[in-house]
Structure 1
Amino acid sequence: MSFHGWTGSGKNYLAKMIAKAIYKKEMRSQFVHQFVATHHFPNADEVDKYKGQLRTWIRTNLTNCERSLFIFDEMDKMPMQVLDAIVPFIDFYDHLNGIDSRKSIFLFLSNGGANSIAQRTLEYYNRGKPREEITFREMEEIIQISAYNEGDGGLKSSRLINKHLIDYFVPFLPLERRHVTMCFKDYLRSLNVNYTPEQLERLTDSISFFPREAPIYASAGCKQVVQRTDFILEDLIRESRMINNFSDEL
């Protein structure tokens, strides 16, 4: 599966949910393998070396466990053709040198296609139509075309797309204000911090929204929720205590 959308829209969050559903140790499992393009494949002139390393790494780990999970993050920043190395492992082969890779899962996370996704979402908004009416087929076609043609990322002219080896192109729509507010709520609850509607509103206001003429979507999704909350956490706790003390005195 290939996940597409802006930063903070939930791609990594869903990848972690998948790992949690499969492995007891979740992302800490020895059978979860995560690759970050800017860390593992930083140089565009070393594609052949990366391809060799990737083939060896995947072959070794599939030998150890055929039900491994491979997560490739920052696909839009990965040098072109690196991922061609994994084509034999996800092509339609029952066994490859004694390895049955059909039981493994490959996830590709990318910001590629995010602008096209946002544009289509905004079109629905401007027509007064709810985002829930956007069809998966409609978005999948947009993503596939964008991923194959945009920039110089890992899926650019990729054999993974040419050979139809990616089962699903999953769109992550830009998050609206209500979604960001929900993220703040969830994080505050995880900290067991009481909050007022005014405090929650203040936190949401700390996030940047776009487009400028009608700020609907969060520029960084929910990515900054933890940092923004932690920055004013002491103030939130102090204000909550003051409110509680005042209520007790009434």
Structure 2
Amino acid sequence: MKAVEIYLLLHLILTASVLVNTFDPITVTVGVISNLWQLFNTHERCDSEWISFNAEGLRADLESKLFGQHIASRVILKAVNGFMSDDNPQKPLVLSLHGRSGTGKNFSQLQQWIKGNATNCERSMFIFDEMDEMNPGLIDSIKSFLNHYKKLDGVSYRKAIFIFLSNAGGEVITETALDFWKEGRNRDEIKLIDLETSLSASAFNDINSGFWHSRLIDDNLVDFFIPFLPLEYRHVVQCAMAEMKAKGLEPDQDVAAELAKDLIYFPKSERVFSVQGCKTIEKRLYHYID
């Protein structure tokens, strides 16, 4: 896939998931990060005329499309803004996004795919979905691309962004959020430091994870392990309101509340977190509209 096709794919992810397909928080985040680049047409070019960093667009999308994820929003905004403002970064930006609910190519194919795209455009973005489905050891084949090398075989990877999506650590995230809820503490008090070490360890020690005993973790090449918290009832209401707006309907708080109330929550007795987040909102919405 050529660099321009990656940008087009990200653009389509953003527009297709508009607010809801949504609301799988990690999918939404991958979509809004596409605002790093503005694609003006399908002619393959890699310069400031065609690709421009839109910091305010990223901020606005994180605020309007990512509900209940204060840690992810803050970390991603600061990390990406800082990285894109640096004309001479020493290594690529590497983000690993973790939360509850691709098969890997072989080693040489994976390496050639990355090298080919970075050759075309140094500001390429590479997204590795379903790390849990990737064979352990495969991801280590790209270790050299994530390191501090100025160039590898004449190609620089320092301005690229690598994003890994994983379910590893989902239980740790849920347990932490539930503990805060039981203690009567606001979930906004949860900080990255409360979860990042556990997420790193969970991914590294999970034999079903593509990060199992990975040198990427061992050599500290992942810049941030970012947790996505399970969504509560109020976040589902926000999702429903946003979906109505996206469909050109007048947002109705009563409709959103009724829809959110009928979803399945866990733990069963407390009904704190939505089992499916907001994934089913789009399909269920018209059932509640007169």
- Give TM-score, length-normalised by structure 1: 0.79
Q: Is the 8 A contact 1:8 1:220 kept in 2?
A: no
- Equivalents in 1 of 2:134, 2:165: separation in Å? 11
Please list the CA deviations of residues 187-227 of structure 1 after superposition, one character each: whole Å capped at 9, or x if unmatched: 10011113543322221123211001101001111122212
- Equivalents in 2 of 1:204, 1:152: separation in Å? 33
Q: Aligned residue for 2:283?
A: 227
Does residue 191 in structure 1 map to residue 261 in structure 2?
A: no
Does residue 169 in structure 1 map to residue 225 in structure 2?
A: yes
Structure 1 residue 85: Cα displacement: 1.2
Q: Aligned residue for 2:38?
A: 23
The 5-angstrom pairing of residues 1-250 of structure 1 reads: 8-24=23-39, 39-41=102-104, 50-230=106-286, 232=287, 236=289, 239=290
Q: Aligned residue for 2:55?
A: none
Structure 1: segments with no counterpart, 5+ residues: 1-6, 32-38, 42-48, 240-250
Q: Is the 8 A contact 1:9 1:173 kept in 2?
A: no
Give the superposed CA RMSD: 2.1
Structure 1 residue 146: Cα displacement: 0.8
Name segments (4+ residues, structure 1) moved above 6 Å: none
- Equivalents in 2 of 1:201, 1:14: separation in Å? 24
Q: How many residues align?
A: 212
- Equivalents in 2 of 1:30, 1:110: separation in Å? 31
- Equivalents in 1 of 2:45, 2:260: separation in Å? 37
Amino acid at match of 1:107: I
The percent of aligned pairs where both chains have the same amino acid is 34
Please list the CA deviations of residues 38-95 of structure 1 after superposition, one character each: whole Å capped at 9, or x if unmatched: x443xxxxxxx61111001111111111110001111122111111111010111111
- Equivalents in 2 of 1:173, 1:99: separation in Å? 37
Q: Is the 8 A contact 1:9 1:174 kept in 2?
A: no
- Equivalents in 2 of 1:175, 1:30: separation in Å? 40
C-alpha change, 1:21 and 1:10, in structure 2 (3 Å) is same
Please list the CA deviations of residues 110-129 of structure 1 after superposition, one character each: whole Å capped at 9, or x if unmatched: 11101100001111111111
Q: Aligned residue for 1:45?
A: none
- Equivalents in 1 of 2:26, 2:167: separation in Å? 9
- Equivalents in 1 of 2:187, 2:238: separation in Å? 17
- Equivalents in 1 of 2:253, 2:160: separation in Å? 45
In our comparison, the structure showing a higher alpha carbon Rg is 1
Q: Is the 8 A contact 1:9 1:172 kept in 2?
A: no
- Equivalents in 2 of 1:200, 1:74: separation in Å? 31
- Equivalents in 2 of 1:195, 1:103: separation in Å? 41
C-alpha change, 1:30 and 1:215, in structure 2 (3 Å) is farther
C-alpha change, 1:11 and 1:61, in structure 2 (3 Å) is same
